[in-house]
Amino acid sequence: MKKQFTILLFFISLSFFAQDKRLAKLDSLLSYLNENDKFMGSVCIRQGDEIVFSEAYGYLEATKGVRANRGTKYKIGSISKTFTATMIMQLVEEKKILLTTKLSRFFPKIENADKITIEHLLYQRTGIKDYANADATLTDVLGKPNIKELVLKKIENYTSLFEPDTKHEYSNSNYFVLGLIIEKVTKKTYAENLKTRITDKLGLKNTYYTSEKTDVTKRESFSYTFNGEYWDKIDEWNNDIAFSSGGIISTPEDLTKFIRELFKGKLVALPSVELMKTLKDTYGMALIRFPFGERKFFGHNGKIEGFESSMGYYEKDDVSISLIINGANYSQNDIMIGILSIYYKLPYPFPNFNKLDAELIKKYSGNYTSKDIPLEINIFEKDGNLSAQATGQPSFPLTYSSDDVFVFAQAGIEMVFSNNSFVLKQGGAKFNFTKK
């Protein structure tokens, strides 16, 4: 009987997609990416308050073959900042703090605490060094108890990078501190505040903060990297490292409801939402504007361990969308472009993952050196496609993008080949390589 029920649900799903060719094509794209080991994760699109598309692809525990479903929960990384900012704005509305309240009220040991305000923290305009990405000594606290206290001590000992409010510079430290302020003001934990202030109000049953390790019995997912043959599990962090800057667990369905209800004034008053939307140097109060053609979505991205996440809302169409990836071998941005293109009925050819012609493999294969950097890269055939390996480093697969262009999306690498040479592009830098 259980098997029959599962099959029935499958046919209902197919029938639903068949009613809307967009959704059928979208499911085909994501299935195609998953089948080609380019993507694992979940997607949700909400039109108004109605979920029009919600599907999961791949595994929450790949080594044991446990497949993901619509209820699978993922770490959302920096999307957590939008939840944190929302709770701060609630405290402002309750007059428990002001946007002009000085950081020195809570943490006077942080440099420039007498100049830094709550507003500066929200807008990432403090000059406080980023503990998560700019502190090579962060590993000192991994595995130790009282991680939050240890991270705070690090932040208190940092030298300021610039004068407060002179410019924007993204720093996880700002939102880590905001989470601690929420706890100090309310005398409740961050997790308790998240529950009472947001998730209970909106009925988000799959969104929470925990210090515990991933529990697959609760449908919590691990994250993975593709090694060219199979998905390798990525080591997980102690979640208190990320805390209020990136430690929340959720689902795309919950995220699309959260961002829509936020913009509808269900969590803070609409004037507060307008403040959060107001951009300074492209960044609002934990809100970023994402253009897609003439459409402008508001939301946030996230990245933690091997998870990548996106959440956006377009007010004019009342459309909210969320993509959470727990296994990436393809650009998150390219996946989102594909999703939105199909949803809005724009032309979108599927990427080509067919095996390369043997002559092309022969043409590109070989050892390449560069005068720009002291690095040698070997390009070689593997399983009918190209792979690359720099001296002393593990090999990685190259995905065909277009004529003479190959990518390794996970590391943001693009290689553009020409006669016995290629240009390697990564992080805005370019390096020329010539075949030996």
Domains and CATH numbers, the chain: 77-343 (3.40.710.10), 358-435 (2.40.128.50)
Query: What does the pLDDT read at residue 385?
Result: 82
User: Residue written as tokens 């991933």?
Assistant: 214
Return the HEC string of 245-282.
Answer: HHCEEECHHHHHHHHHHHHCCCCCCHHHHHHHHCCECC
* pTM as predicted: 0.81
Helix (H, G, I), strand (E, B) or coil at 323: strand
Taking the C-alpha atoms of residue 318 and residue 340, their distance in angstroms, rounded to an integer, is 14
Q: Which residues pair with 402 in a beta bridge?
A: 405
Residues 297 and 290: beta-carbon distance below 8 Å: yes
Residue-level pLDDT at 400: 79
| 194 burial type by CB count under 10 A (0-12 exposed, 13-18 middle, 19+ buried) | buried
Measured CA to CA, the distance from residue 40 to residue 60 in angstroms comes to 9
pLDDT at residue 427, as a whole number: 78
Block means of pLDDT (10 residues each) for the chain, length 436 residues? 36 47 95 96 97 98 96 98 98 98 98 98 98 88 86 97 98 98 98 98 98 96 94 93 97 98 98 98 97 94 97 98 96 92 88 80 94 94 88 84 77 87 91 95
